[in-house]
Structure 1
Amino acid sequence: MSKRQIDGVGKDLAAPVEYSAAVDRYLAAADLGSASRRVYRISLHGWAWPLVDRRVPTGRERRGADPPVVPLALLDGPKASQRLQRGLTDRAATAQPRTLTRELACLRAATAWWLAQGWITADPATGLAAPAPCPVPEHTPSDVWRAVRASAAGPDRARGALTLRAPLRELTLWHLLHESRASVEQVLALDIHHLDLPGRHTKERTTGALSWGPGTARLLPMLLAGRTAGPVFVTDRRAPAGTPAADRCPVTGRGRLSYRRAAELFTSATRPLDPAGHGWTLLVLRDRAPRMIPR
């Protein structure tokens, strides 16, 4: 989405009363292809049910189901975040992690834009996180679980970490650190204008050039949806007063993610994989994948 689109759409018009109208206005301003626009529309309409404390239809019932009428003011209500989190938890029972990540990214992009237009006063998507997967007993004959356990015990702990279900921001950061082999400081210092997304690398004039692989290439566009400037990785909340403009997102007002916070989140997320129960540091993401042994 261009700066002209962000500044020119919405602010000159009265705020829409209904959620679906706000969705239409956001999609009209978003720089999306027709296929992506359709995905965003389906995802955003899906959040209408939990906003009125109803479960999203599943299976055949969801196809063609009209979303409920939702006043946009409900997003400013005290229960909005709680209802969205409950909807996210319900959705996790039937949706694949990749689908859940995409739908949450669509919601975050839209609410950030509505907040920037002044249509809502708080972002109900702040702090939303997909629930952790249910632990699998060690005796369960699951190839996936055995692979995660093996990677946690071996030199390739990075592979185990990247199988975890985590928020989009964390997954993107972990994949970028693993695939680029760059330092945490270098990655967290990246701004959106540093990136050449189609080329999967930073632009030539960027200090400390780096490149990435398919995992990061899949996640980055979802993370950056609705933002064209500012830090790549930002905090969940608005930056404190006095934060330098270079470390603040001009759309959402959120600050650049710090090394300390990124490290805390990774250690907490990897605690279940650590036999000692302490969790790992971000440095394990630079572990190399083990060589394949021919049979």
Structure 2
Amino acid sequence: MDRYLAAAGLGDASRRVYRVSLRGWAWPLVDRRAPTGRERRGAHPPVVPLALLDDPRTPERLRRGLADRAASTLPRTVVRELACLRAATAWWLARGWIVTDPTAGLEPPGPYPGPAAAPAAPPASTAGAPDRARAALASRAPLRELALWHLLHESRAPVEQVLALDIDHLDLPGRRARSHGAAALAWGPGTARLLPMLLAGRTAGPVFVTGRRAPAGTPAADRCPVTGRGRLSYRRAAELFTAATRPLDPAGRGWTLLVLRDRPVRTGPASA
């Protein structure tokens, strides 16, 4: 953990948050419930060998630990803590210190309580594009997909431009980016909350990457230098969106990413 935190390029405050989050995951790894409330402060987590992450029983232990944490913690905190674990796991995997990803398929229970988590549009065939966008953004989906959908919706930028973004293109405090050879784009509070969690532990490479390592021969510009994962393609992003929105579509076919480029839904003031 110390080696990861030293290499992650985090500020002092962020490093403290990561350290607390990662220590908290030690409890479920040994089938113990993490202390809550006042008991959590000052509690010494169990010493856990890194190799335990390769134990076949670890994913189930993490799922139980995630459910326990979600029952007593704000949802945004649970999402952040899971993002910290994923970032560290990817770093350890990239160095060969572990050989499996125990966080694969691990998702917080219930929909992400982001700023656009409003009630879904009614399942009527006459629903307009803004209603479909609202329903998609309020659906339960992985962090990567939610961040991409919010960015497409709030920036109204072409999908190709968004998927071509690299981390060094981003001005996270200013909520804007400039892609080489393309117009500048900006985003709102929904994207501003999701992007830092998505990028936790990564400082270079594509913003949106696949769930597995890139094939041999993938250009360096399209590969994350930390995880080795490739840039997410338009086709894959479109497939994921259509599959995720199929239950929301009265026709049962699912929607295309183009519905996200219509009028952004109101998500509250930027300072919220």
Q: TM-score, normalised by structure 1?
A: 0.77
* Among 150, 164, 180, the residue aligned to 1:189: 164
Q: Which residue of 2 aligns with 1:33?
A: 11
Are the structure 2 counterparts of residues 250 and 160 from structure 1 closer, same or farther at C-alpha, using a change threshold of 3 Å? Answer: same
Residue 210 of structure 2 aligns to which amino acid in structure 1?
T
1:149 aligns with 2:125: no
1:280 aligns with 2:249: no
* Among 126, 132, 147, the residue aligned to 1:172: 147
Distance in 1 between the 2:134 and 2:265 partners?
10
Q: Which residue of 2 aligns with 1:71?
A: 49
SS in 1 for 2:184: coil
Are the structure 2 counterparts of residues 93 and 285 from structure 1 closer, same or farther at C-alpha, using a change threshold of 3 Å? Answer: farther
Show the 5 A alignment for 1:1-295. Answer: 23-133=1-111, 147-150=119-122, 153-156=127-130, 157-203=132-178, 205-289=180-264
Q: Please report how far the alpha carbon of residue 224 of structure 1 lies from its aligned counterpart in structure 2 after TM superposition.
A: 1.4
Distance in 2 between the 1:155 and 1:85 partners?
35
Q: Please report how far the alpha carbon of residue 233 of structure 1 lies from its aligned counterpart in structure 2 after TM superposition.
A: 0.5
Are the structure 2 counterparts of residues 194 and 285 from structure 1 closer, same or farther at C-alpha, using a change threshold of 3 Å? Answer: same
* Structure 1 gap ranges (5+): 1-22, 134-143
Q: Which stretch has the larger CA shift, 28-37 or 163-172? A: 28-37
Are the structure 2 counterparts of residues 211 and 86 from structure 1 closer, same or farther at C-alpha, using a change threshold of 3 Å? Answer: same
Distance in 1 between the 2:70 and 2:257 partners?
26
Distance in 1 between the 2:39 and 2:256 partners?
44
Are the structure 2 counterparts of residues 62 and 275 from structure 1 closer, same or farther at C-alpha, using a change threshold of 3 Å? Answer: farther
* Structure 2 gap ranges (5+): 112-116, 267-272
Are the structure 2 counterparts of residues 210 and 68 from structure 1 closer, same or farther at C-alpha, using a change threshold of 3 Å? Answer: same
Q: Please report how far the alpha carbon of residue 102 of structure 1 lies from its aligned counterpart in structure 2 after TM superposition.
A: 1.0
Q: Please report how far the alpha carbon of residue 205 of structure 1 lies from its aligned counterpart in structure 2 after TM superposition.
A: 4.3
Q: Is the CA contact 1:243–1:255 (under 8 Å) kept in the aligned structure 2?
A: yes
Distance in 2 between the 1:110 and 1:148 partners?
34
* Aligned CA-pair RMSD: 2.6
Identity within the alignment, %: 78
Distance in 2 between the 1:76 and 1:290 partners?
42
Are the structure 2 counterparts of residues 116 and 191 from structure 1 closer, same or farther at C-alpha, using a change threshold of 3 Å? Answer: same
Q: Is the CA contact 1:97–1:165 (under 8 Å) kept in the aligned structure 2?
A: no
Residue 28 of structure 2 aligns to which amino acid in structure 1?
P
Max Rg structure: 1
Are the structure 2 counterparts of residues 90 and 277 from structure 1 closer, same or farther at C-alpha, using a change threshold of 3 Å? Answer: farther
Residue 259 of structure 1 aligns to which amino acid in structure 2?
Y
Q: Is the CA contact 2:164–2:179 (under 8 Å) kept in the aligned structure 1?
A: no
Q: TM-score, normalised by structure 2?
A: 0.83
Q: Is the CA contact 2:28–2:61 (under 8 Å) kept in the aligned structure 1?
A: yes
Per-residue CA distance 1:225-266 (angstroms, 9 max, x = gap): 221221111111111222222221111111111222222322
Distance in 2 between the 1:52 and 1:270 partners?
37
SS in 2 for 1:219: helix
Q: Which residue of 1 aligns with 2:270?
A: none
Residue 44 of structure 2 aligns to which amino acid in structure 1?
D
Q: Please report how far the alpha carbon of residue 114 of structure 1 lies from its aligned counterpart in structure 2 after TM superposition.
A: 2.0
Are the structure 2 counterparts of residues 284 and 97 from structure 1 closer, same or farther at C-alpha, using a change threshold of 3 Å? Answer: farther
Q: Which 4+ stretches in 1 moved above 4 angstroms?
A: none
Distance in 2 between the 1:264 and 1:95 partners?
33
Distance in 1 between the 2:170 and 2:63 partners?
31
Q: Which residue of 1 aligns with 2:269?
A: none
Are the structure 2 counterparts of residues 288 and 151 from structure 1 closer, same or farther at C-alpha, using a change threshold of 3 Å? Answer: farther
